[in-house]
């Protein structure tokens, strides 16, 4: 048969060194570093809860999970929106 070619499968390992994958991983790492820097800055702030007057602080998230504000000690009224 003319024009019939056998396809040679591409190695899966070569996808790891693909420039697009490398740049995507570098971008993700840069975004995680920016998130970490921002959360370190937020940890320096101490705010007061409008409902109970207790101090609240920033609790950093792990990995890609965003952080949140939380009371330093249990609030008398449960879990308020800060």
Please list the alpha-helical segments (H only) found in 1-82. 13-16, 19-43
Number of domains into which the chain is organized: 1
Report yes or no on 56 lying in a domain: yes
Asked if residue 82 belongs to a domain, the reply is no
Q: Is residue 76 part of a domain?
A: no
Q: Which two tokens stand for residue 60?
A: 């950093």
Q: Is residue 6 part of a domain?
A: no
| 44 belongs to a structural domain | yes
- pLDDT tens digits, the chain, 82 residues: what are they? 455 555 555 555 555 678 899 999 999 999 999 988 988 888 888 788 887 778 888 888 887 788 888 877 765 665 555 5
Q: Which domain does 18 fall in, by range?
A: 13-71
How many C-beta atoms surround the C-beta of residue 56 within 10 A?
A: 21
pTM of the shown model:
0.56
Report the alpha-carbon distance of residue 4 to residue 40 in Å, rounded.
60
Quick one: how far is CA 73 from the chain centroid?
26
Determine, yes or no, domain membership for 42.
Answer: yes
Asked whether residue 4 is domain-assigned, the answer is no
């Amino acid at each position: 048969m003319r024009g019939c070619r056998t396809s040679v499968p591409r190695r899966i390992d070569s996808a790891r060194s693909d420039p697009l994958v490398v740049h995507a991983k570098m971008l993700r790492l840069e975004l995680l570093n920016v998130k970490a820097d921002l959360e370190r800055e937020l940890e320096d702030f101490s705010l007061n809860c409008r409902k109970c007057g207790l101090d609240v602080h920033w609790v950093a998230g792990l990995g890609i999970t965003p952080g949140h504000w939380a009371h330093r000690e249990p609030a008398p009224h449960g879990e308020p929106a800060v």
